[in-house]
Chains A and B, each alone.
Chain A
Amino acid sequence: MTSKSLISLLLAYGDDELILGHRHSEWTGFAPHIEEDVAFSSIAQDEIGHAANYFMLTARLTDDDADRIALGRDADEYRNAVICERSNGDWAYTLARHWLYDTADDIRLATLERSSNTELAQLATKMRREERYHLIHADMWMKRVAHGPVEGRSRIETGLSSAFAEAIGLFEPIELEAEAVDEGWLPTPSFELKATFIERASNTLDDLGLPTDVRADLDESAEFVASSSGDLIASPDGGDAEPAQPTGLGGRSGEHTGDFDQLWGELTKTYRQHPGATW
């Protein structure tokens, strides 16, 4: 009998890759520099390819079909973190998210390399090789913009201020996480991965001389809410009240935003309209 917690893990990470790859691919033909357009398209293709890896493994375990899993589920069955589904915004937001996501992905792939499911462990090693390039790409851009003229710098700060908080959603526990950890599918629990992520990302931001307040108190107990502009503001009622729900959570249990509804409609359109067709 297939472990439900293993499937839960594969779907959560696979959906992250699929949905972010879909968003990345929307830049094709529009990226702000032609050479970068070509470069970023490969990253989009890689992410979709990683999703295919996760889904093919899932399909084998559940006697399903990878395309059905990718394109044939109801909206609330997708388990991606909310940050992946957000509209691209400008290049600064896209870049901030790309950098945060690939930093996070590197951390979780490092732990998956030790997964008790050998297929998943091998897959993680393979994907991590590719992610290494994604990280070099993202770091290079962050460095250039952070050290560049004022406008770019301030835009990347704005991009980070909404993306960093939501990136924490990548480490929201998956469904049946306790079992996944016990079984060794996920050798390190999400809260530990999250701590590693926050430390590593914060250190890099320090190195880049980017303000660190955007990442202050990113713990689950932190109290902050998103203003309508997407900037983080302190929760007005201080520490005594019920902790405010950090943004960017809920994805792992299928709660998504309006941005996802739009994306899902397109993503699944052709597949759902033609049941049983081959393409």
Chain B
Amino acid sequence: MDVYEVFKRSGHKEPFAHAGAVIAPDSEMALIMAKECFLRRREGEHLWVTRRSDIHSFSDESLLEIAADKSYRFPEAYRDVVTKREKAKVRAKEVMAERNAS
């Protein structure tokens, strides 16, 4: 017997998400059991199972931390675009006024 991890997807637009695990002797039986254990109320439209031993993870998950400043990867870093836009518009008005004057 093996532990099989169970993943379900609720619709075509969603990614698969982990739902739980079942104990079964093979993938065929794992699917049948997972269907009733996790989707008996139709909580998903698609189902995957995979043997736990086929899943790999970092033994030290602190590796996933972002140690340095990576704020530029996030939208919050560009929030001041609003004030920059206003400054740019003021500058544009000056330029356009000069252009019209000449």
Q: Do any CB atoms of chain A lie under 8 A from CB atoms of chain B in the complex?
A: yes
- The answer to whether A136 touches B67 (Cβ under 8 A) is no
- From residue 58 to 78 of chain B, which have CB atoms closer than 8 A to chain A? 63, 65, 67-70
**Chain A window 222-240, contacts with chain B (Cβ cutoff 8 Å), 1 for yes, 0 for no:** 0000000000000000000
- The answer to whether A129 touches B67 (Cβ under 8 A) is yes
Asked whether A200 is an interface residue with its Cβ less than 8 Å from the other chain, the reply is no
**Chain A window 180-206, contacts with chain B (Cβ cutoff 8 Å), 1 for yes, 0 for no:** 000000000000000000000000000
- The answer to whether A126 touches B68 (Cβ under 8 A) is yes
Minimum Cβ distance to chain B for residue A234 (Å) = 43
Contacts of B65 in A (CB 8 A): 129
A249 to B68, CA, bound (A): 30
From A42-50, A93-101, A168-176, A256-264, the one touching the partner chain is A42-50
- The answer to whether A132 touches B63 (Cβ under 8 A) is yes
- The answer to whether A126 touches B67 (Cβ under 8 A) is yes
Contacts of B70 in A (CB 8 A): 45, 49
User: How many residues on chain A are close to B (CB under 8 Å)?
Assistant: 13
The interface residues of chain B, by DSSP majority, are classed as: loop
- The answer to whether A136 touches B68 (Cβ under 8 A) is no
Minimum Cβ distance to chain A for residue B66 (Å) = 9
A133 to B63, CA, bound (A): 7
Minimum Cβ distance to chain B for residue A45 (Å) = 7
Contacts of A127 in B (CB 8 A): 67-68
- The answer to whether A50 touches B63 (Cβ under 8 A) is no
- From residue 7 to 53 of chain B, which have CB atoms closer than 8 A to chain A? none
Contacts of B67 in A (CB 8 A): 46, 126-127, 129-130
From B63, B68, B69, B70, name the one whose CB has the most chain A CB atoms within 10 angstroms.
B68
**Chain A window 19-55, contacts with chain B (Cβ cutoff 8 Å), 1 for yes, 0 for no:** 0000000000000000000000000011001101100
- The answer to whether A46 touches B68 (Cβ under 8 A) is yes
A127 to B67, CA, bound (A): 7
- In the complex, the chain A residue whose C-beta lies closest to that of B73 is A45
A45 to B67, CA, bound (A): 12
Contacts of A49 in B (CB 8 A): 68-70
Question: Can you give 11 A-B contacts (C-beta < 8 A)?
Answer: A45-B70, A46-B68, A49-B68, A49-B69, A49-B70, A52-B69, A126-B67, A126-B68, A127-B68, A129-B67, A130-B68
Q: Which residues of A contact B (CB under 8 A)?
A: 45-46, 49-50, 52-53, 126-127, 129-130, 132-133, 136
Shortest Cβ-Cβ A-B pairs, 6 listed: A130-B67, A49-B68, A129-B67, A130-B68, A133-B63, A46-B68
Given A130-B68, A136-B63, 4 more pairs with CB closer than 8 A: A45-B70, A46-B67, A49-B68, A127-B68
